[in-house]
Each structure stands twice: as C-alpha cells, then as structure tokens.
Chain A
C-alpha cells in the first residue's frame, strides 16, 4: 500500500499499529474527523458543509481544516455554489477516497483478526 507522506502531520497518528507496520497505515484518513468525513460521504452521494458539521459535531474551523486535507489528497471533491446569497459547499467522495477508506477498513479488520488468532 502506498504511504502518503505528509511531513506536516506525523503527530496526528495517536496510536501506532506495529502488527501492520505504521508505514502501511493511511495517516491521512486515520484522524477521527477525516475518518468521519470519509465514512459519512461513503453512504451519501454528496453532503453539504453544514450536514457534515452537524453529523460529526465539530466546529467550522476544525471541519474545514480536515476537509481541505482530504481535498488536497483528492480523497474528496468540493463544489462551491450559492444558495441565494449564502455560499454552499457540497462534498463528494472520489474513487480514490473510497478506495482509501476500504483499505483502511481492511486494515482494521486484519488487525482485529491478527490479535484474535494470537
């Protein structure tokens, strides 16, 4: 699996997974809010910024920081429009983002299996 190296954020990985090797863990999607964004978008064609904010119970600033990181990695796409005079951001999960989430799920499941077998 590819390791997306974002030098600015190794501190965001709270737990290392030696059973799998930390290198194999997708740090980008591991963070809670980002994992939440990807999970919510996996079951919706698109969600607005406000949908995500209320769903994940997070602040504007926190959500936009994390959404931007996923956007930069091209895991999600964002289309901006206007609803009346209010700007509206609609987020979608890209195929790459869906694959990343699936890989992450596989990892977690493999990890659970590995500890059970021991």
Chain B
C-alpha cells in the first residue's frame, strides 16, 4: 500500500458546497470530452474508405463522360460516409460513449460546412469549363473540413486534413486530366496511410 499523497490538492480555498459540486461535474465532463478525442475517429473505417476509393478511382477513370465520372465519385462519397459512420459507431459503442458527445457534435458541424460548399460548387461547375477542377476543389474542401473539425480531435486528424489540402493545391495547378489520379492518391492512399496510423495509435 502506498503512502497517501502529500501533493497540494490544487485549490486553496474550498468553494461553497454546491459550487464545489458543480466544479466537480464540470471537471468530469471536461476530462471526458478531452479524453473522448482519443477515439473520435475510426482508423479502420478510414482504411476501408481508402480501399473503396481506390476501386472508385479505377472505375471512374473508365467512364466516357464527366457526368458518369461524377456519378461514380458521388456513389463513393455516400458509401464512404456510411462506412465511416458505421465504423465510428462501433468504436464508440466499444468504449460505451455516445457518438455525438461534445467533441463529436463539433466535429460533425465543422466538417459539414465545407462539404455543403463543395456540393454547391460541384453543381455550379458541372458542364462548365471548370468541371476539370472539381477534383482539386473536393480535395481542398475535404481537407479544410478535416483540418478544422480535427482541431477538436487528436493531432493526427488535422494533420491529415492539411495533407489533403496540399494535394488539392497541387491538383489545382496540375493538368486537368490528372484529377482522377489525385483523387485516387488522396481518398485512397492518404485514407489508408492515416487510417492505419490512427488504428495503431488511437485504439482502432
């Protein structure tokens, strides 16, 4: 048995009774929210979406029209969303926390905003001369969403967002025909690499 700790207990003056109880509850909540960042995102879910994205890139490259190409990537986006929600839900259940706890809600909000912008720009640019830049726009906005939403998560998440944005920036100034290859490298490659790192370091 160890000797009782003689370290100072942090607060010099005890607060009034209910103030102390409120402070305790706040401390518990804050600790849970900060600790929740350890498990916010499922690494294995990212790996799975990376694999489906590689399949989508392969199929999309063989489509005759921009519309058909877009259709493949839209289907992939829906599939990736379902897979990652399912994987995050499983991870949250294993840890017995609600998926949409404090940081979870902030993540969803911060991520959704640039996705809405992306959807609007896709509709506006489709069929026009800028349709070939859609891949770059998606990568930039997806990266921005992950980077800002990831500010509430473990550091590797915003880092992944920044790398997506860097690839998006490169795609913006590359020949338009390279768009699909950039999407394969980012949504496929980056998701698999970062997914494995998150799965290894942050519990699944």
Contacts and interface: CB of A to CB of B under 8 A. Distances in A.
B36 interface: yes
Given A51-B38, A56-B31, A105 B25 contact: yes
Interface of B: 1-5, 7, 9-11, 14-15, 17-18, 20-22, 24-25, 27-28, 31-32, 34-36, 38-39, 94-97, 101, 203
B28 A105 contact: yes
A9 B35 contact: no
A109 B28 CA distance: 12
Chain B at the A interface: SS class? loop
Interface in A46-64: 46-47, 51, 55-56, 62
Interface residues on A, range: 35 or more
Contacts, number: 100
B32 A43 contact: yes
Given A11-B4, A15-B17, A19-B17, A45 B28 contact: no
A23 B11 CA distance: 23
Given A15-B14, A44-B39, A68 B21 contact: no
A47 B204 CA distance: 12
Interface string A79-105: 000000000000000000000010001
Interface of A: 8-9, 11-12, 14-15, 17-19, 31-32, 35-36, 39-47, 51, 55-56, 62, 65-66, 68-69, 72, 101, 105, 108-109, 111-112, 114-116
7 contacts: A14-B11, A31-B5, A40-B32, A43-B39, A43-B101, A45-B94, A116-B18
